[in-house]
Structure 1
Amino acid sequence: MDIRDVASGNSDADQNGATGGNQWGRPSRRTVLAASGAAIAGLAGCLGGSSEGSTETSGGEDSSGDSTETSGGATTSSGDELADTLNFYSWGGSTQEALTEHLIEPFEEEYGVTVEQSSFSSQDKMLANVRSSPEGSYDVIMPSLSGSYNAVKQDLVEPLRLDNIETWSNVLPSFQDFNVVASADERYVAPLYYGTIGMVYNADEVSGSPPFSWDLTWDDQYAGSLTLEGFAFVRVFTTALRLGMDPNVMEGDAGSYEEGIKQVYDAMAEQHEYVTKYWTSGQEQTTLYSNGTAVLGDGWSGRILSLQEDGYDNLNYTIPEEGAYGWSDTFAIAKGSERRYTAEKFLEFAYRPEVQEALSPALGYPPATDATSSDIEALPDFDPTGGDRLVFQDQQFKETHQEDWNSTFEQIKLGQY
């Protein structure tokens, strides 16, 4: 996720992650090596899959540097026939590398379909390229949940014909129950994997065993050593969870949004007194936790996993008992795809248990299906409840209220609330 898009309220997959890696946190080996000879600040551009290492098989580059691709002379298909090729537009970097090895190449081998790849570095750029390209230029695209909300609003994607995706039943109930546009009658995205904005704690300083409650981040014993993600929509969402509210309705005891949001703002103002710093990038959060400035807060699992691999065994990640903000990267079929059936077979293949069991650990995030293994269960974001502790944001609700959330959060940070 590209944090630079957060100020304008763009997609969750644009709000957290690692340059050149999975967009919510774990840098790819290529990125780490590239950064080793440069200033550490070079990693502060940390959010969003990177176009580094992207496979460009046809087409050229747009002005943003994203690799782009047109349908060219690829063979199309109609009805229930497989096409010879499939145009796939995904995050780049380590995400693309994992998809290529564990999904695309096995699919090509089994189905005899050539997958033509191109990559993007942010959701905004992906949506802009799909929007400005002729219909049929892309077949499968990879939006985040909020990116897919914008894609549906802009009529950039086709509804999923679930009858052609026989493995859809493998998808976790929490994802089957969620629709990116609540009022829509049809499904538009196929979630691939999930992550959370969970709790980070230093086991040397925080006693007890998880799952903890978000109440812990309101405990005055951690005053001056608490760090939190500095975006209003995350603060409002997580605070509502802590108060036992549905963060997509946010009604207080009086049964109204107005009362509920006041309770949320009051709690945020109380918590603010304990915060040493609000972080706004993956690099910033890792610095705060690794140098001991913060011993408790929230964060992205991918970054904490990387710190653990670097020897910071005292830093742990957990999904609190009230749940956590959930996100997902998804597959969607681009509007006007002439290889729609082939795209559906690609999605069906992706949901096979053996594919997910290999792909998920390589991506660093649990699958949005019931596939599991010891490697999957070891991932920081893995929810042993089967997704019950994942809470997804209603993007329309966020869109309606975000301006007020932003302005009030600024007042809280300035001590003017």
Structure 2
Amino acid sequence: MTISRPVGMSARRTAIIGGLMVATGPLSLTLYAPALPTIVGDLGTTDAGVKLTLTVYFAAFALAQLICGPLSDRFGRRSVGIAFFAIYVLGSLVCMAAPSLEVLFIGRFIQGFGVSAGVALSRAMVRDQFVGSEAIRILTMINLILTVTPAVAPTLGSVILLGGSWHYLFLVMAGFGLAILALLGTGARETLPPEARIPFRPGVILGNYRTLLSAPDFLIPSLLLCLTFSGFHGFTALLPFVLIDGLGLTPFQFAMAMLVQTGSFIAGNLLVGALSTRLGGTRLMTVALVLMGVSGLAFATLPALYPQSVLAVMVPVGIWMVGIAFISPSATAAAMAGFGGMAGAAGALTGFFQVGGGFLGSLTAGTLFPDAHTALVIQMPIVAILAIAVALIDRRRRKRQ
């Protein structure tokens, strides 16, 4: 059977729709962070109990992608996106009306389940239509939104709290979800033609995931995504404690320091966008790994040499963020390049590696070390070494082929 080319969308439309879908995930993760102390008092619970709402959301977000991707391979990207974002809106409304911590848990789980469509489907939509440097360029734009949003959302949440209670934060999330639904309903086109769809059966799904996990061409880039984002979410969880508690910065000074993180990532993405048509994905990943090696070394040495310096912390952060800008779109495109027939499953599994890596990075940073400073100077160099080791093993494998 000859598979016809899907109607699809332009590169710009794909990037805008995919980027907005992806933005919903980190927005919902961090928008209500400034309200956590208030929620503790209103619901009569503990700090640990409210923090578990983040864990519930993160876990549902990561795991539901494994369902969302295969569903989109069977029913198409657009219809599955509409269904999952409707679930997300429902979860947001449950959270908004939550009278207790238990109901908030339920709402956050529903939210995380629904929003999983963002990462999985945006990558599948790109893979349906684009390969090579064009795919890297579009994924770079999507990746920019994915990583900048967590830096912006807490500030937005603080502004919203000035005008009302924490319930309004979830109303904003519901409104954002409704906007995504409207965009999918009116502005998006299906990118997967009917003749290219595959059955949604447990045997087929498990077979697809088995194929992906046994393919080094998929597994190695996915592991690099996992390690890269474990580092990012690790130091994101640690920086408030290192800079505010350790170095005595005020919240405003902390916000100014975090501009180094956001600015470095934006600069890195602009650089990747300019270089993606000249350099292949392999060279972009090589540059990224060099940057991560330099960043890991800087994390290990600069805070010890200059213990009272903010720049000793933020310079390694900035270098890491430029490295993420180089590696994320390249590794994603490389992981999905050979699996167009199961792009939904491939997009879901790369998202699982990425979100799961972030979860493990933040969990490790908060539990395995006696304090935030120690975690920063030990965990980050180890993650950098692991990423470089994975890449070197893969290079040796390719030479033997």
TM-score tier, shorter chain, comes to: under 0.3
Of Structure 1 and Structure 2, the greater helix share is in: 2
TM-score, length of structure 2 as denominator length = 0.27
Q: Which has the higher contact order (CA 8 A, sep 6+)?
A: 2
Of Structure 1 and Structure 2, the greater strand share is in: 1
